[in-house]
Amino acid sequence: MSDPEKKIALRAVGLSKSFSIVGSSKLHVLDGVELELEETSSLSIRGDSGCGKTTLLNLLARLEPADNGTLYWGDKKIDASGKPNSQEASRRSKHIGVVYQSYYLIPELTVMENVLMSVRLSKLSMNDYKERALKLLEQMGVLDKRRQIPSKLSGGERQRVAIARALVNRPKVILADEPTGNLDERTGGEVMDLLLSTCSTEETGLVLVTHNPSFAKATQKSSVLKDGKLVYV
């Protein structure tokens, strides 16, 4: 049950998604997924490989249309089956931050420029966010690397930069898709601790897709995606 005093950051109602496979048959990946995330709360999603975890995150971020369902980004209701449009892209840049397993830092930019790329995309004032970017890099322990390019960083450092980039715009929700998947256990643990603590400090909701049960337990709510449905545990 949700706390009535806390605002809903992200809500999905009846999200379904299927993919065409050979011939006319369809693979139903998501089947009426229900999800509700309050601001400052965190939710983990586990599931077998190929069960649709990443697809669910893509639908929540409106990177691709669902077959059915409705999304709420804060108070904004979105028809999830509609084709993503440029207004949603603009809103996404301010409302949602993304963290991926492969970091996806832009190799031609320095660490600082990578973090501020979110600000540029949101068309926010760079001067207003430079201090915040530096603060986040300090929190992530990579402030001294801010003038370096991503290829000079370790995997853990790159993921910390990616987390700082996701948070710099003060989004309401972070969608993290196996953020520790490419890291060793110790570094993964450190990064996860940082992600959880920073989301808590920044009062940002977190949807975490992970295979690691201990990381899943660290979130406020845990769920498993099974047979196209989200089962809360």
Contacts with other proteins, residue ranges (CB under 8 A): 54-55, 58, 61, 63-64, 86, 89-90, 92-94, 98, 100, 102, 104, 106-110, 113, 117-118, 120-127, 147-149, 165
Question: CB of 27: closest distance to other proteins in angstroms?
Answer: 15
The one-letter amino acid code at 227 reads D
Pairwise CA distance, residues 55 & 66, whole Å:
9
H or E stretch covering 229: strand 229-232
Of the two residues 178 and 218, which places its CB atom closer to other proteins in the complex? Answer: 178
- Beta-sheet strands, E only, within 85-190: 96-100, 173-177
Q: Nearest approach, Cβ of 233 to other proteins (angstroms)?
A: 27
**Cβ proximity to other proteins, 92 vs 160, nearer residue:** 92
Cα–Cα dist 4/23, whole Å: 48
Q: Which of 118, 167, 116, 119 is nearest to 139 (CA)?
A: 167
Closest to other proteins by CB, 64 or 227: 64
Q: Which is nearer to other proteins, 77 or 152 (CB)?
A: 152
Q: How far is the CB of 1 from other proteins (least distance, A)?
A: 31
Distance CA(57)–CA(62), nearest Å, equals 8
* Shortest distance, position 125 Cβ to other proteins, whole Å: 7
Residues forming a β-bridge with 205: 173
